[in-house]
Amino acid sequence: MSRRIEQSLLFLNNMKKIPLSAQSVDCLFSSKSFKEKLLWQIGNAKQRIYLAALYLEADAAGEEILMALYQAKRERPALDIVVFVDFHRAQRGLIGEKKAVSTNTTWYQEVEKAHALGVKILGIPVKRKELFGVQHLKGFIFDDSVLYSGASFNNIYLHSNDRYRYDRYWIFENRELADSMVRFLKNEIVSSGAVANLNAPLVPKIADLKMAHKQFAKNLKQASYSYQGEALPGTLSIAPLCGLGARNNKLNKCIRKMLQSTQNELVIFTPYFNLPRALARDISALLKRGVKLTIVVGDKTANDFYIPEGQPFKTIGGLPYLYESNLKYFAQKHQHCLQSGQLKLHLWKDGSNSFHLKGIYADNRFVMLTGHNLNPRAWRLDLENGLLIDDPEQALKGLLDQELNEILKNTLTITAAKQIDGVENYPEHVKKLLLRMRRIKVDRLVKGLI
């Protein structure tokens, strides 16, 4: 065993973790099951509901969730209900649309004005501008239960109509874990003067929060989850992690240690193939030392920025092609590993549905559940979190294998780089866009920001 592997394993083993019982862990395998579980949990919570997501959308599914929260508050007035979303995202329309008069925030205000029950919806301004970082914390706490997913709340994530966005959905019945996640939200988010109540009659502008925001941003870079735990290398256990920024980011550091510690087999899920340089180096290193690597990534048509042919094209629609170019280059670089079977690439596609899975599974032991996209933006700009599971006795292997089998059902296995479309196969307007971006070298900037 090399010194780096040994040190990385020691780091993961020595992390303070919360003990878990296998019976307290479950996994859902579809977006419809996720929606059903969400509504059930809302309807049955007795003390607290804390929901952290990128957004709660003003559409049919978003309204169903919000109305369920208000109904729960009406039936149980003592219930503590707080929803955390991104401050900027809540006050604009969808990407590519004209400036909206009615936004998610105006909808929140209208609902609270009509019901006046005190359901709190808090907007987190991670950066002064959305382009440079968003609130990307995930996790839904109902009393002592944690439902962890990278999903947000809208029609496609909750499969309300014909289309869905596929994610991961894990459930933990563990009071210490739930308490730690709520404690973090209360101490680091709710208590900050930079966080705005989005369903109050007046919502401050980001300029009004300037001084409080400066301190808030500084605090977030140093923030971490607190909990009663210890190093438990031989026991099924879990550790919540968070991070913001490239320096001293605990979540990023743990992700790298997982890759560096892997000796036999690694599985990676990511919707966008756009790896930070540090992870690209770690992956090249583990392939060189013979580790088996499986990467499951969304097909360009399963990307949430993809614009089908025949629909009006916007510049943002070039992103899925840019990411596919990255994947093709990676496959060409490691073609020998593809041919030998050491590297397995799976492209996920299911009709017009989209792919949003993130996470890592190392040596059938360490599991990372996260909303982290494993891309430069998540690595440097967004506020991210994740749950590291240590499963030394493989008590959860049955659930993990079942989840992986469900995911792989809708994938194409890539055995040669030529199976992946190149620029020559793209529509003419996409081809021109990518060539122009490369000529002026703006493609590197885009990859770092989106």
Per-residue pLDDT tens digits for 282-306: 999 999 999 999 999 999 999 999 9
- Say which range, 156-160, 267-271, 344-348, 433-437, has the weakest mean pLDDT: 433-437
pLDDT band at 93; cut points 50, 70, 90: confident
pLDDT band at 445; cut points 50, 70, 90: low
Q: Are residues 378 and 235 in the same domain?
A: yes
168 pLDDT above the threshold of 60 = yes
Q: Are residues 215 and 337 in the same domain?
A: no
Rounded to an integer, the average pLDDT of 142-159 is 98
Residue 197 lies in a domain: yes
Q: Are 1 and 142 in contact (CB under 8 A)?
A: no
Residue 306 lies in a domain: yes
pLDDT band at 69; cut points 50, 70, 90: very high
448 pLDDT above the threshold of 90 = no
Residue 402 lies in a domain: yes
Q: Are residues 33 and 138 in the same domain?
A: yes
89 pLDDT above the threshold of 70 = yes
What is the per-residue pLDDT for 438? Answer: 79
Q: Are residues 238 and 311 in the same domain?
A: yes
426 pLDDT above the threshold of 70 = yes
Rounded to an integer, the average pLDDT of 240-248 is 95
Rounded to an integer, the average pLDDT of 183-204 is 97
pLDDT band at 66; cut points 50, 70, 90: very high
pLDDT band at 449; cut points 50, 70, 90: low
Q: Which residue has the higher pLDDT, 93 or 145?
A: 145
Q: Tell me if residue 384 is catalytic.
A: yes
Rounded to an integer, the average pLDDT of 329-340 is 96
Q: Are residues 322 and 279 in the same domain?
A: yes
Total domains present in the chain: 2
Q: Are residues 297 and 407 in the same domain?
A: yes
Q: Name the residue range of residue 99's domain.
A: 23-222
Q: Are residues 293 and 183 in the same domain?
A: no
Residue 12 lies in a domain: no
User: Which of 101, 172, 97 is closest to 142 using CA atoms?
Assistant: 172
Structure tokens at 366: 């360490």
Structure tokens at 138: 């995930």
Q: How many CB atoms lie within 10 A of CB 344?
A: 18
What is the per-residue pLDDT for 180? Answer: 98
Q: Tell me if residue 86 is catalytic.
A: no
Q: Are residues 209 and 293 in the same domain?
A: no
Q: Tell me if residue 421 is catalytic.
A: no
What is the per-residue pLDDT for 450? Answer: 67
User: Which of 370, 68, 306, 51 is closest to 165 using CA atoms?
Assistant: 306
pTM of the predicted model as reported, rounded to 2 decimal places: 0.96
Q: Of 63, 88, 136, 188, which one is the catalytic site residue?
A: 136
Last residue of a domain, one of 174, 190, 222: 222
Location of structure tokens 């959308």 = 57
Q: Are residues 331 and 442 in the same domain?
A: yes
Q: Of 384, 390, 391, 443, which one is the catalytic site residue?
A: 384
Q: How many CB atoms lie within 10 A of CB 187?
A: 14
What is the per-residue pLDDT for 326? Answer: 94
What is the per-residue pLDDT for 98? Answer: 55
Residue 16 lies in a domain: no
Q: Are residues 164 and 307 in the same domain?
A: no
Q: Of 63, 86, 144, 167, which one is the catalytic site residue?
A: 167
Rounded to whole angstroms, the Cα distance separating 69 from 348 reads 34
Residue 9 lies in a domain: no
Rounded to whole angstroms, the Cα distance separating 341 from 212 reads 53
96 pLDDT above the threshold of 60 = no
Rounded to an integer, the average pLDDT of 55-73 is 98
What is the per-residue pLDDT for 240? Answer: 98
Residue 11 lies in a domain: no
pLDDT band at 441; cut points 50, 70, 90: low
Q: Are residues 46 and 84 in the same domain?
A: yes
Q: Are residues 413 and 348 in the same domain?
A: yes
Residue 183 lies in a domain: yes
Last residue of a domain, one of 171, 188, 222: 222
Query: How far, in Å, are 269, 280, 308 from residue 348 at the CA level?
Result: 10, 21, 17
What is the per-residue pLDDT for 439? Answer: 76
Location of structure tokens 């909990």 = 227
Last residue of a domain, one of 222, 246, 261: 222
Q: Of 356, 372, 403, 443, which one is the catalytic site residue?
A: 356
What is the per-residue pLDDT for 440? Answer: 73
**Beta strands 292-298 and 343-348, pairing class:** parallel
Q: CATH number of the domain that 167 lies in?
A: 3.30.870.10
pLDDT band at 435; cut points 50, 70, 90: confident
| 3-state SS, one letter per residue, for the chain | CCHHHHHHHHHHHHCEEEECCHHHEEEECCHHHHHHHHHHHHHHCCCEEEEECCCECCCHHHHHHHHHHHHHHHHCCCCEEEEEEECCHHHCCCCCCCCCCCCHHHHHHHHHHHHCCCCEEEEECCCCCHHHCCECCCEEEECCEEEECCCCECCCCCCCCCCCEECCEEEEECHHHHHHHHHHHHHHHHCCCCCEECCCCCCCCHHHHHHHHHHHHHHHHHCCCCCCCEECCCCCEEEEEEECCCCCCHHHHHHHHHHHHCCCEEEEEECCCCCCHHHHHHHHHHHHCCCEEEEEEECHHHCCCCCCCCCCCCHHHHHHHHHHHHHHHHHHHCHHHHHHCCEEEEEECCCCCEECCCEEEECCCEEEEECCCCCHHHHHCCEEEEEEEECCCCCCHHHHHHHHHHHHCCEEEECCHHHCCCHHHCCHHHHHHHHHHHHCCHHHHHHHHC
181 pLDDT above the threshold of 90 = yes
